Amino acid sequence: MPYQQLYTIAENTQTMRSRWTEERRQNRIQADWIVAWLRDNGPATIRDIVRALEVAGRDVKAHIIRRALQKSQFIEKTGEIEIEGEVHSQYEFIG
């Protein structure tokens, strides 16, 4: 493979990696915002969290909410409540 092609592949890989890293950093910031919101406003359901994200003008992304709720050492599922005939999990900040 000619040197120029190798250089182009390496350059593209670096661009993708830096974009991925920035995206990951933004996702972590968003997840931290959710944890902080739960600290101040919990306990809450996912429905409450989605509403708070929308009011704050933030993106609502399922994988980020999941990361905040399941991977944070400070968030715990504290039970389930029924809202309009549907069962919703309730989460709370426990730190």
Q: What is the pLDDT of residues 34-76, one digit of tens each?
A: 999 999 999 999 999 999 999 999 999 999 999 999 999 999 9
Kindly tell me if the per-residue pLDDT of 12 is higher than 80. no
* One-letter identity of residue 16: M
Question: Domain of 82: which CATH number?
Answer: 1.10.10.10
What pTM was computed for the model? 0.76
**Number of structural domains the chain divides into:** 1
**6 backbone dihedrals φ, ψ, rounded to 5°:** -60, -45
Show the domain range for 76. Answer: 3-93
Sign of the C-alpha dihedral, residues 51, 36, 20, 70?
negative
Residue 93 three-state SS: strand
